[in-house]
Structure formats: C-alpha cells, structure tokens
Amino acid sequence: MIPSQRFFNLAPQPDSGWAPVWQNLDLARFRSSVTYPLQPVVVQLDPKSAAGFVRDWPRPDERADQNRSYALQWFGFAATSIGIPDDLFRSQTEAEKLAAARPITVCAGCPHRGTFMAINQAVRRAGFKKDQVMVTGDIGCTILGMNPPFNTVWNELSMGASIGMAMGYVHAGVQTPVIATIGDSTFYHAGLPALVNAVQHQTPITVIIMDNGWTSMTGMQINPGTCEQFQGAGSARLDIARIVPALGVDQFWVVDPFEMDNMAKVLQNALKLPGVKVLLARQECAIPAKRRGVEAGEIKVIDENCNQCKLCITVTGCLAITLRESSINIDPEQCYACGLCAAVCNRDAIEFERLLPELKVTG
C-alpha cells in the first residue's frame, strides 16, 4: 500500500518538481508531478494463481564447511589472548635431547649441494674471499645455501628477484663478480623477464639456474621443465637449455652439479668473462628419483682409511653421514649415492661408482 504520510525526513523536501531521490513516496505530491491520472490502488498477489507470488525460495548456501577452518583460526587467535600456561602444550624433552644437532640444509642427495660447493670452490680458486663475491638467492630450495656448511647465498627477497638484484648491485658500483642463483621453477615463474633485461643491457653477471626438474620445496609439483612423462595429458615440456640461448645468451653452459670439480672450473672461467653468463646446473631432485627406485651410484665406506677428519660432514653437510666409533656411517635409507662426499675425501675412505647416465654437459 502507498503511504499517505511522511514518517521521517533526512533532508527538506522540494515544494514541487522532481527530486533526485524521494525519501518517502507522498501520493499527493507524486500525483501532482505526473501528467497522467494516478489512482490509489492496492495490488494483492494471490499465491494460488498460476502467476502468483513465489514464496518457496531455495535455501541459501551458508558455506559453513568452507568457513569452519577460518572460524577456528580466529578462535585460536582469541585463545592466545587469554592466560594460557607456558607449559600447557609442552611435550617431553627426552626425544629432543637424542636428536642430532644439524643446520637447516638441503636433503641428502640434493644436487644443489654440489652447486653451492662448486660456487665456494670457484670463488676461492679465482682468488677472491667469500665476502668479496656477492651471491644472490631466490625463493625455493636455493635459500638453503644461506645456511652452514655452505654460507654461500647472501640474500633472498622474492620470486625471480635474484637476477634483478644482481643487476642492481653491478649498476650500483660493485666491482667484484656478482652471481645470481635461481631454481628452475622460479626461473619459469619470474626469472625470465629479469634475464631478458640483463641481456638487453649486457650487465656483467653470472646466473646459475639450478634445474632439478621439480618444484621441490612445496611438494614436488611439476613445472614447465619437468620431464614429458610426468606432464599432464596434452601438456608440453619447455627446456631451459633451449630457452636461454634463444634469449640471446651467448655464454651458456650445461653443467652437472654432481661433477662438482668440473662445474667449479666452468664457473671460475665464467667469472672472468664480460656480459651475461648462464650456467644450467642440471640434475633431478633426489626425492622423486628415489621414490621411483633410482640411485645415483653406489657408495662404500673403507673403515681402515677413515681417520674421522669430518671433511665429508663439514664440507657437504649431508644428513646421511654420521660418526661412529672409528669411522663414519652412511645411512642407506637417506643416501642417494651422489658421490659428493667421495669427492671431498682426502684418504680414499669412500668408494663411489656412478650409476646415473652421463649428463650431456658443455664446457
């Protein structure tokens, strides 16, 4: 029904004519404002008629299940604001005392271990101290190069930022070599534009793309460079070894991080060259490889040759190696037999035989 009186007004009403907004519909004023007859009528909708008023509306989806975790999160925030004893959720500490004291580092068999070891070796052989050659890092497993025993990577900002930061340091006046490290997934995600920019301006940086074939830190998801057999139906693989030269990078090498000495030599030479240099350090992540039953090689400890110098532990930081009474122990459940421990042993205490096919490398 049309009201015939005003219940309240938020602003003065005009005496005549049309107003942009009428707060209340005054029938008398509305009738005087139109040129056609207007009768006071009431329209009643009959629910029994064929075109009657629909009253049986579907119940709206409250999406309670989707919001339950969100509610629990806020209930958790509320719980932290009340007085909770510090030891309420504290467990027994006996098991913690038995845990080995280890830094946060890459997994046993990770090819990035060889890359970080090669960087440190190349910098040293090139005549620089570690704090003279800046090494930028990126999102992903690459950031673990910040930690002992490598202490290689200086910083990490955001996905794809390592190459851009390296360029920035050069343009800011850094005279010593600058190295950018970036994983394959991050390179596809946000490293390509920065590399294009470096090539355009011929900024003298060395980029190491650490290609393990997977997006490993977040759970071994595939990326554009993962092997064809693991790509989804109708998907294609994009090979970094073809992309980088196509961007105009003339100084490009494919290296095997498990062949650490050779990679260090290639990198040492690259540090002396002008312009943009790119090394593609290529070996598969050990976790999906071991899940398929792949082993990189065979490892055997020769106890009588070991003097427990701990080089295999302090240089590689491999989680599979521990000390025992008169020698070292290599846990076969963790070991991928990459051979990096044998490469640093000075006493032939670790025998290694490679089983992986030789990687097609350059340089």
**Amino acid 25: pLDDT:** 66
Which domains are present in the chain? 1-46 (no CATH), 111-289 (3.40.50.970), 294-354 (3.30.70.20)
Residue 3 reports pLDDT greater than 50: no
Residue 199 reports pLDDT greater than 50: yes
**Amino acid 1: pLDDT:** 40
**Amino acid 77: pLDDT:** 73
What does pLDDT average to over the chain? 87
Residue 359 reports pLDDT greater than 90: no
Residue 207 reports pLDDT greater than 80: yes
Q: pTM for the complete prediction?
A: 0.74
**Amino acid 75: pLDDT:** 78
Q: How far apart are CA 188 and CA 246, in angstroms?
A: 14
Q: Give the model's confidence band at 4: pLDDT under 50 very low, under 70 low, under 90 confident, else very high.
A: very low
**Amino acid 50: pLDDT:** 65
**Amino acid 291: pLDDT:** 94
Q: What is the pLDDT of residues 64-117, one digit of tens each?
A: 666 677 777 777 777 666 666 666 666 667 777 777 777 889 999 999 999 999
Q: How far apart are CA 271 and CA 176, in angstroms?
A: 9
Residue 241 reports pLDDT greater than 80: yes
Q: If you average pLDDT over residues 131-144, what whole number do you get?
A: 95
**Amino acid 2: pLDDT:** 44
Among 25-39, 225-239, 260-274, 335-349, which stretch is predicted with the lowest mean pLDDT? 25-39
Nearest to 296 by CA among 256, 327, 344: 256
Dihedral pair phi/psi, residue 314, rounded to 5°: -75, -25
**Amino acid 73: pLDDT:** 76
In three-state form (DSSP H/G/I as H, E/B as E, the rest C), the secondary structure along the chain is CCCCCCCCCCCCCCCCCCCCCCCCCCHHHHHHHCCCCCCCCCCCCCCCCCCCCCCCCCCCCCCHHHHHHHHHHHHHHHHHCCCCCCCCCCCCCHHHHHCCCCCCCCCCCCHHHHHHHHHHHHHHHCCCCHHHCEEECCCCHHHHHHCCCCCCCCECCCCCHHHHHHHHHHHCCCCCCEEEEEEHHHHHHHHHHHHHHHHHHCCCCEEEEEECCCECCCCCECCCCCCHHHCCCCCCCCCHHHHHHHCCCCEEEEECCCCHHHHHHHHHHHCCCCCCEEEEEECCCHHHHHHCCCCCEEEEECHHHCCCCCHHHHCCCCCCEEECCCCEEECCCCCCCCCHHHHHCCCCCEEEEECCCCCCCCC
Q: Which residue has the higher pLDDT, 14 or 35?
A: 35
